[in-house]
Amino acid sequence: MKKHIYIAYTGGTIGMRPSAQGYVPVKDFLADTLAAMPEFHRPEMPAFTLHEYSQLMDSSDMSPHDWQVIAEDIQQNYNEYDGFIILHGTDTMAYTASALSFMLENLQKPVIVTGSQIPLAELRSDGQVNLLNALYLAANYPIHEVSLFFNNRLMRGNRSKKIHADGFAAFDSPNFGPLLEAGISIDVQRGKVLPIGNAPLTVTPVTAQPVGVVTLYPGISADVLRNAILQPVNALILLSYGVGNAPKNAALLDQLKLAQQKRIPVINCTQCLRGRVNMHGYANGTALADVGVVSAYDMTLEACLAKLHYLLSQQLSYEQITSLMQQDLRGELTPR
């Protein structure tokens, strides 16, 4: 039986057309482009249904409400299709892929997020390779988790990150190698793919959460942190140096202590692209742990932010949130 894949087109460059203001997504344009490309209709390819969203977006306009729309769309069509492809802009693709990984629990079908850097309708577009491969993989490879396909690599969604503004190798999975590489042969990294259970799919709704993100820089003043933890902030991500260090400055640490008293979770995520937070490597890191800051280990900022949204959207205590942030829920971090 030919597999049938559901493609949700949310917007993004893959279906865009030039306008006087730059690229914009245009209604029906992707469907018309796809219909005119014979590769997508070859007998080896799965059948697919393209569902174009009514509000096509540049992904820089995406919000948690849109993550919710996508998750509900997958849930409603879950039993009818063999796999799901989310066509999405690249700018916030890693955030959406991370969010979906938390919202969709016990997946028994593949969900692949992809898009392109050049519109599918243009010469030299990377959209054809990305979508063609994503369709082929969704039909033929049992990788039952939220993943992101780009430039011939399938990465775990919540490990992915946009690392190149204008290159085709736009995504990387810096702390967890790809799940699959599509070269002359298609090589699955079996040990890396999440195991499948028998439990039914659960979809946890998320709502937008006020989360502060502060990048530390030399000379940062305590006032910056004071402002970042003012109401209505529900959590703070501290983008720290190296293995999780910050200035051992009393005024700064006082603000973090205040956050702890106000029961605002503060998560220590490194500014470095690769590697992990170890707050006990240096006295400067230990000082953070002592005022209740918790480690993001090797999570990306995107995964950290999406995970906070997922947890803050549930009725969980400060203790539960800080503890779950340090646990591996969907393969997003490697605790040690």
Ligand X SMILES: NC(=O)C[C@H](N)C(=O)O
Nearer to ligand X, 59 or 240 (CB): 59
**Within positions 292 to 321, which residues make up the interface with ligand X, using CB under 6 A?**
none
C-alpha dihedral, 233 to 289 to 64 to 203, nearest 10°:
-130
Is 122 among the residues that bind ligand X (CB under 6 A)?
Answer: no
Catalytic annotation present for 13: yes
Is 91 among the residues that bind ligand X (CB under 6 A)?
Answer: yes
Is 127 among the residues that bind ligand X (CB under 6 A)?
Answer: no
| Tokens 């039993």 found at | 79
Q: Which residue is nearest to ligand X (CB)?
A: 89
Identify residue 48 by its one-letter amino acid code.
F
Residue in 324, 264, 262 with CA at minimum distance from that of residue 299:
324
Q: How far is the CB of 52 from ligand X (least distance, A)?
A: 15
Piece of 11-19, 187-195, 207-215, 272-280 that binds ligand X (CB under 6 A): 11-19
| Token couple for 187 | 């090589």
**Within positions 57 to 76, which residues make up the interface with ligand X, using CB under 6 A?**
58-60
**Within positions 160 to 199, which residues make up the interface with ligand X, using CB under 6 A?**
none
Nearer to ligand X, 59 or 295 (CB): 59
When binding is defined by CB under 6 A, the residue of 68, 96, 98, 117 that contacts ligand X is 117
When binding is defined by CB under 6 A, the residue of 33, 68, 90, 151 that contacts ligand X is 90
Annotate the chain with three-state secondary structure.
Answer: CCCEEEEEEEECHHHEECCCCCCEECCCHHHHHHHCCHHHHCCCCCEEEEEEEEEEECHHHCCHHHHHHHHHHHHHHCCCCCEEEEECCCCCHHHHHHHHHHHEECCCCCEEEECCCCCCCCCCCCHHHHHHHHHHHHHHCCCCCEEEEECCEEEEHHHCEECCCCCCCCEECCCCCCCEEECCCEEECHHHCCCCCCCCCEECCCCCCCEEEEECCCCCCHHHHHHHCCCCCCEEEEEEECCCECCCCHHHHHHHHHHHHCCCCEEEEECCCCCCCCCCCCHHHHHHHHCCCEECCCCCHHHHHHHHHHHHCCCCCHHHHHHHHCCCCCCCCCCC
When binding is defined by CB under 6 A, the residue of 89, 127, 178, 265 that contacts ligand X is 89
Piece of 47-55, 83-91, 191-199, 208-216 that binds ligand X (CB under 6 A): 83-91
From residue 19 to residue 58, the character string flagging contacts with ligand X as x (rule: CB under 6 A) and all else as - is ---------------------------------------x
Q: Which of 10, 33, 49, 90 is catalytic?
A: 90
Q: How far is the CB of 77 from ligand X (least distance, A)?
A: 23
Nearer to ligand X, 57 or 272 (CB): 57
Q: Which of 13, 33, 96, 270 is catalytic?
A: 13
Is 110 among the residues that bind ligand X (CB under 6 A)?
Answer: no
Identify residue 37 by its one-letter amino acid code.
M
Catalytic annotation present for 207: no
Nearer to ligand X, 92 or 240 (CB): 92
Q: How far is the CB of 13 from ligand X (least distance, A)?
A: 3
- The binding site for ligand X (CB under 6 A) comprises 11-13, 58-60, 89-91, 115, 117
The residues carrying an active-site annotation are 13, 90
